[in-house]
Amino acid sequence: RIAEGTAKSVARLDEKFSIAVPGVYVCAQCEAPLFSSKSKFQHSTPWPAFSQTVTPDCVKKTPEPFQPTALKLRCAKCDAPIG
Dist. CA 54–CA 58, nearest whole Å:
7
In this prediction the pTM is 0.71
Answer whether 7's CB lies under 8 Å from 56's CB: no
Q: What mean pLDDT comes out for the span 45-58?
A: 87
β-pair partners for 24: 36
> Using CB atoms within 10 A of its CB, is residue 6 exposed (0-12), middle (13-18) or buried (19+)?
exposed
Q: Is the predicted pLDDT of residue 66 greater than 70, yes or no? A: yes
Q: Is the predicted pLDDT of residue 25 greater than 90, yes or no? A: no
